[in-house]
């Protein structure tokens, strides 16, 4: 009887120790952790092996600590080739990390235009916002990145969507003044959109 009780006590202690391990240690036993590690290390062979496992849904795994997906990881290193590869394998660009940041926001914040274009082509929502309500277009305005602004506006970004302070991309552009040129980018995009959507009647020559 004493032997049985001792065995149970040891087993219970082992379980408690395992569940009290730091997050990083627990992750070592996770397929998702190993997949994200391979993405970080650009280990294509391991990534392909994980993705080719029948029934695998590992492509959208999230880091236990940060909530980052593989797309967050490759956007951070400005790697358009890996973005295209991952979305081609079914990676969802509309998954935020624990801070409410989406891959498209991250790319816009970094000024990574090629990444923004690749994510938008994969149906990333263009007006996503983080915990502060900031959109990719607001980030582009703050950076005075006119090319990025045009890309986002052409993709349907709303210049009047406000952040948690109640200001929109248009508001921030106006605050920069006419010499900044950011407000003109928004107005030009709206004018172009209006011209493209205008109906014409009668014959054209």
pLDDT digits (tens, 9 = 90+) for 97-123: 999 999 999 999 999 999 999 999 999
Look up tokens 């065995």; give the residue. 7
Angle in degrees, CA 168, 108, 95, rounded to 5: 95
Pick the closest to residue 174 from 184, 166, 165 (CA basis). Answer: 184
Q: What is the model's pLDDT at position 9?
A: 45
Q: Do residues 110 and 142 make contact, with C-beta atoms less than 8 angstroms apart?
A: no
Regions in the chain scoring below 50 on pLDDT: 4-5, 7-21, 24-28, 198-205
Q: Rounded to whole angstroms, how far apart are CA atoms 98 and 90?
A: 21
3-state secondary structure of 168: strand
Q: Rounded to whole angstroms, how far apart are CA atoms 98 and 57?
A: 20
111: number of CA atoms within 13 Å, CB side?
7
Pick the closest to residue 157 from 91, 199, 118, 108 (CA basis). Answer: 108
Q: Do residues 127 and 157 make contact, with C-beta atoms less than 8 angstroms apart?
A: yes
Q: What is the model's pLDDT at position 17?
A: 44
Q: What is the model's pLDDT at position 180?
A: 82
Q: What is the model's pLDDT at position 55?
A: 82
Pick the closest to residue 148 from 163, 136, 134 (CA basis). Answer: 136
Q: What is the model's pLDDT at position 197?
A: 55
Q: Do residues 51 and 14 make contact, with C-beta atoms less than 8 angstroms apart?
A: no
Q: Do residues 48 and 82 make contact, with C-beta atoms less than 8 angstroms apart?
A: no
Q: What is the model's pLDDT at position 196?
A: 65
3-state secondary structure of 162: strand
């Amino acid at each position: 009887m004493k032997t049985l009780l001792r065995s149970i006590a040891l087993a219970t202690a082992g379980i408690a120790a395992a569940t009290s391990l730091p997050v990083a240690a627990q992750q070592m036993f996770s397929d998702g952790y190993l997949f994200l590690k391979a993405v970080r290390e650009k280990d294509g062979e391991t990534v392909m092996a994980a993705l080719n496992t029948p029934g695998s849904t590992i492509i959208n795994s999230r880091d236990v600590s940060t909530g980052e997906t593989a797309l967050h990881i490759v956007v951070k290193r400005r790697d358009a080739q890996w973005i295209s590869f991952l979305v081609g394998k079914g990676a969802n660009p509309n998954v935020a990390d624990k801070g409410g940041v989406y891959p498209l926001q991250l790319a816009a914040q970094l000024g990574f235009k090629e990444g923004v274009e690749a994510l938008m082509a994969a149906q990333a929502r263009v007006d996503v916002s983080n915990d502060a309500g900031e959109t990719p277009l607001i980030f582009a305005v703050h950076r005075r990145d006119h090319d990025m602004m045009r890309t986002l506006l052409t993709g349907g970004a709303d210049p009047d969507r406000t952040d948690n302070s109640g200001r929109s991309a248009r508001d921030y552009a106006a605050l920069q003044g006419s010499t900044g040129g950011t407000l003109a980018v928004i107005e030009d995009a709206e004018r172009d959109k209006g011209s493209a959507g205008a109906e014409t009647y009668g014959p054209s020559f």
